[in-house]
Structure 1
Amino acid sequence: MNMTDQAYALPGTVHFDLEPTDGGDPYRIFLFIPKGEPPVGGWPLLVTTDGNATFPFAFASLVTQAPYPTGTNVDWGVVAAIGYPCEEPYDALRRAWDLGPPPVKSYPPYFEGGPPVRIGGTGQLVDFIEHRLFPRLDAVTRIDATRRSLFGHSFGGLFTLYALFERPSLFTNWIAASPTIYWEESEILNNEAARQPVIGPPVLLHLSAGEYEGDELAPFQYRNGDAASRAEKRKVERTVTLAREMADRLHDPATGIQTQFELFAGQTHMSVLGPAVNRAVGIAFESARADGHQSLTR
């Protein structure tokens, strides 16, 4: 890099560190608020997990589509991505704790001599969203509490399901991409079975996965040395099957949940992140119809 080069930042964005109520390690919040006055009812809101990785996708998707709502069906809104004070896309240790549902468990370190990997802190992150993030956003702009959306991918998708089952009133749209439903022998299904009822307007659960998260590897993956072990792992993960089955099982307007399942053609577990965030933006910031309402059946 030339010493005269300037660091680049995404225009109109900020980030700040916000501690949980109990004073634990802070989260880094990446935030975009559109220019101008918010709508009378407030801005729609999209919250994403793994914010260091997901925020650039969400920002680019929104600012390239919102100026052209009649061509994209996307209007302006607020993006708040929950990340960590680091320079990497992911903080592996913290995200395991934050996004891996209870019960609390420990696993061997990611590397020799490292700390153990712990899961089970999802409830604390849900509390952080409700009691720290929402009030902070309300203090700086007007948010429409009836148009809040949550997006998570992989472990973040599992967290999205956990939060839906525990506190369904927090968001209207729940967007879980490639959720690791198989984790801990599908422990999340116990949360599903004991889920809290939806009180008030129905919510939308959008589940998705990449085409190459099913029985077939991506063509290039067959050329890799780990093809056989990767194929065996797919039989355990069953990402496409389990997400599709959950969508079919939970779709019941009588219980207040409407579901969708989407398969992203040509995508693997990691490459699906971009298309999935783009879909989240389309859901969270769907243009208002002539009657001023949004539809849950897109």
Structure 2
Amino acid sequence: MSVPNSHRIRFTSSINGRDYLISVAVPLVPPPAQGYPVLYLFDPHFMFGTAVDAARMSAPEVMVVGVGYPLDDADFVSRTVNAVKDRLPDAFREMPQQTLAIWALRTHDLTLPATAEDRRRGTAAGVAALAASLSGGLDTFLDVVDREVKPRVAAVAPVDASRAALFGHSLGGLAVLHALFTRPESFGHFIAASPSIWAAPALWTEETAFGQRIASAPHAPAVMLAVGGREQDRVGASSKMIDNMREMARRLRAIERAGPPMQVVDVVFADEDHGSVQQASVSRAIDFAFRGARR
């Protein structure tokens, strides 16, 4: 079922030459005088509908924007899979074409350059080298968001650029942290759910530089980190999802104490795993970014 009062915008980026599909859910209420606040989220194929439902329930003036891919285009999906199929391990070859396309696309766009060793810890056996070879498109992807997605969204309905939040889960959470550390002025709120910090050791160095960068700034963005309480169980132990999130929150709070006012919230959702935490975290993200919740 389609999302009421929503728009789909397909375009080929002039920055990286890749095809994207923007999903825009315009609120069912008139815009505030300054325009609609906006929640931008990665991986809309997983959670766009959930995010829209949560916003319309608790923050009905919020526009939800998903930055994804034209996955309903069979030719696009086929081209994406064909580019990597000769390097796929046998276990991956049985996956649906769309699932493979999503994996390849986000492995490129939502990651920093990585080695096979970087990707081995949290990646399926036999695919670390391929994942490493695809990695590294995040900076140009964030340029696409800033320079090509945002203007297209503003052409759909009036927006309040001062009230924009960025949400990402898993590799998307990694991407949110990198955006926070390297372009903190691009959003007012950054929400990283289950961030795959294990896949980007450079984030720890970036966090240090970020602290130095904003030490004398008049203000700093608000940050929320979230993770599921079961994400470090059994096979997830090596990725240290909970430990890494807590350590990142600790470091950000140290910046908060030493620098400008900076809201930092971290949440562990009990009994949720890496998949199920998406719904809980996107709902809390809307509360955090647009209703001022600190819990």
Q: TM-score range by the shorter chain?
A: 0.7 to 0.9
Q: Which amino acid aligns with 1:92?
A: W
Corresponding residue number in structure 2 for 1:223: none
How far apart are the structure 1 equivalents of 2:115 and 2:65?
27
Equivalent residue for 2:259, pick from 246, 250, 255: 255
One-letter amino acid of the structure 2 residue matched with residue 259 of structure 1: V
Question: Match of 1:43?
Answer: 36
Name the CA shift for 1:45/1:261 in 2 (closer, same or farther; >3 Å): same
Which residue matches 1:193?
208
CA distance in 1 between partners of 2:244 and 2:285 (Å): 20
Identity rate, percent: 30
1:81 maps onto 2:66 in alignment: yes
Whether contact under 8 Å (1:104, 1:121) holds in the other structure is: no
Q: RMSD of the TM alignment (CA)?
A: 2.7
Number of the residue aligned with 1:14: 7
Letter in 2 for 1:263: V
Select which of 136, 142, 145 maps to 2:158.
142
Following the alignment from structure 1 to structure 2, what is the Cα–Cα distance between the partners of residues 238 and 112? 20
Using structure 1 for the length normalisation, give the TM-score: 0.78
Contact 1:204 1:296 in 2 (8 A): no
Which residue identity is paired with 2:238? V
* Partner Cα separation in structure 2 for residue 170 and residue 181 of structure 1: 21
- Offset of 1:135 from its aligned partner? 1.2
Between stretches 26-35 and 245-254, larger displacement belongs to 245-254
In structure 1, what is the equivalent of residue 178 of structure 2? 162
Aligned twin of 1:101? 112
Flag the 1:121–1:9 CA change in 2: closer, same or farther, 3 A. Answer: same
The CA distance in 2 between the partners of 1:237 and 1:112, in whole Å, is 17
Deviations 1:121-154 (A, max 9, x none): 1101110111011111222222112211000000
Write the distance in 2 (CA, Å) between the matches of 1:171 and 1:126. Answer: 12
Partner of 1:235: 237
User: The residue matched to 1:47 in structure 2 has which SS?
Assistant: strand
Q: Is the CA contact 1:49–1:156 (under 8 Å) kept in the aligned structure 2?
A: yes
C-alpha contact (below 8 Å) 1:44/1:147 kept by paired residues: yes
Instruction: Verify the 8 A CA contact 1:151 1:174 in the aligned structure 2.
Output: yes
Within 5 Å, give how 1:200-215 maps onto structure 2. Answer: 200-214=218-232
Note the C-alpha offset of 1:82: 0.8
Alignment-derived partner of residue 133 in structure 1: 149
Shift of the alpha carbon at 1:12? 1.4
Q: Deviations over 1:62-92 (max 9, x none)?
A: 22x14xxxxxxx3421110011111447711
Partners of 2:9 and 2:282 lie apart in 1 by: 22
Distance change (3 Å), C-alpha of 1:297 and 1:36: closer
CA contact (8 A) 1:248 1:259 kept: no
Please give the per-residue CA displacement for 1:8-67, whole angstroms capped at 9, x wherever unaligned: 31211121212223361211111101135311111111000011112111012122x14x
C-alpha contact (below 8 Å) 1:17/1:29 kept by paired residues: yes
Measure how far apart 1:103 and its partner are: 5.1
Q: How big is each residue's C-alpha offset from its partner over 1:145-199, in whole Å with a ceiling of 9 and x where there is no partner?
A: 2211000000000000001001000111100011111125x23212212227344
- 2:47 corresponds in structure 1 to 54
Q: 2-side partners of 1:235 and 1:283: how far apart?
A: 28
Contact 1:174 1:204 in 2 (8 A): yes
User: Which stretch shifts more, 138-147 or 202-211?
Assistant: 138-147
After superposition, the Cα gap between the structure-2 partners of 1:105 and 1:131, relative to the gap in structure 1 and judged at 3 Å, is farther
* Shift, 1:116, TM fit: 3.8
Structure 1 gaps, min length 5: 1-7, 67-73, 218-230, 287-294
The question of whether the paired residues in 1 share the 8 Å contact of 2:16 and 2:141 is answered with: no
Cα distance in structure 2, aligned partners of 1:97 and 1:116: 11
TM-score by length of 2: 0.78
8 Å CA contact retained: 1:75, 1:285: no
Q: How many residues align?
A: 257
Q: Mind listing any 5+ residue stretches in structure 2 that lack a counterpart?
A: 73-97
